[in-house]
Amino acid sequence: MPEKRAKRTRPHAILGIGIMLASGLLLIAGNTWVKTYFTPLVWTGYIILIDALVAARKGSSPLTARRREFLLVVPISIVTWYVFEGVNLLLKNWSYVNLPEGTAARWLGYVWAYGTITPAIFMTAELIDSLLGERLRNRRPLALGRGTETAFFFAGFLLFVVVLVFPSLWLCPLPWISVLLWFEGMNDRLGIGSFGAAFRKGDYSLFVSLLISGAVCGLLWESWNFWALTKWNYHVPYLPGVKLFEMPVLGFLGFPPFALECFLMYRFFRFLTPVRLDVDVLGGAWSVARPGDGP
């Protein structure tokens, strides 16, 4: 069976590797189109490659077995990132440079790049889970009471309001903290997928896999952004001159919680969408049914 499975996923992996290699070579060669869209291009190849590795290890993956759900994740990823883009209009912690002049070309870059964010995090988390997940399930439950989740909700909501009412560069950590607390409390109350619900079952695999995925993807985002022509630059007051690539080093602390937020916001927006699907994009033990979904 493993040998047969590997044969099925080999073209899948080769396609992803091919896109990444071609993007890198064309970037070095100075191809203007690739230099402009390098970040979403290489992330597209990465997503395909990691999905192939997940399929080889688990026997199924979003692109091989959960394609409809994957197609739903892409617009949710765009909407999720626009929440933070909206906050950034006030805080101005990052800005984009060398954007395409044409409106259509510019929006192609926005939609394409933002649409790869959550899929990349989820694919990486699934691969990490295939390596570590079994050790992190069926552990001692952590009994987070409803009062704790309610406190999370109100604390996150109030911190988010503070950011909107008193925008400042110095408040740049607050959006990542507030959204995490806010959606954790709200999702837990709605029963649509929260870390507290998993902890009560003694399952820490999702939490840990997402944290590691956020760190891995954050490093890749910043490294690939560094070489691209169209890129983002940061404007933060905390050790701004101590950088790894374009990112001040303390900024890398934001990627692990961001991965957790992507999961929580995905669950919430999936709950709101009228689309009903039988499976969840993450599949397996991480799936959470909702009213109206299939069995």
Q: Give me the mean pLDDT over the 42-53 stretch.
A: 96
Task: Give the per-residue pLDDT at 256.
Answer: 95
Nearest to 152 by CA among 193, 191, 180, 192: 180
Task: Give the per-residue pLDDT at 126.
Answer: 92
* Enclosing H/E stretch for 96: strand 94-97
Q: Give me the mean pLDDT over the 132-139 stretch.
A: 87
Nearest to 216 by CA among 143, 126, 141: 126
CA distance linking residue 169 with residue 164, whole number of Å: 12
Q: The tokens of 86 are what?
A: 């909206």
Q: At residue 261, does pLDDT exceed 90?
A: yes
Could you give the 3-state DSSP secondary structure of residue 30?
Answer: coil
Could you give the 3-state DSSP secondary structure of residue 243?
Answer: strand
Q: What confidence tier does 3 reach under pLDDT thresholds 50, 70, 90?
A: very low
CA distance linking residue 170 with residue 214, whole number of Å: 23
Q: What are phi and psi of 248, to 5 degrees?
A: -55, 135
Q: What is the pTM of this model?
A: 0.90
Could you give the 3-state DSSP secondary structure of residue 194?
Answer: coil
Q: At residue 293, does pLDDT exceed 50?
A: no
34, 27 contact by CB (below 8 A): yes
Residue 238 DSSP label? S
Percent of the chain predicted with pLDDT > 70: 91
Task: Give the per-residue pLDDT at 32.
Answer: 93
pLDDT tens-digit readout, 163-197: 999 999 899 899 999 999 999 999 999 988 899 98
91 CB-near residues (< 8 Å, 6+ apart): 163, 167, 168, 169, 171, 172, 175
Q: At residue 88, does pLDDT exceed 90?
A: yes
Q: The tokens of 102 are what?
A: 């044409």
Task: Give the per-residue pLDDT at 43.
Answer: 97
Task: Give the per-residue pLDDT at 2.
Answer: 41
Nearest to 19 by CA among 27, 29, 9: 27
**Where does residue 214 rank: exposed (0-12), middle (13-18), buried (19+ CB within 10 A)?**
buried
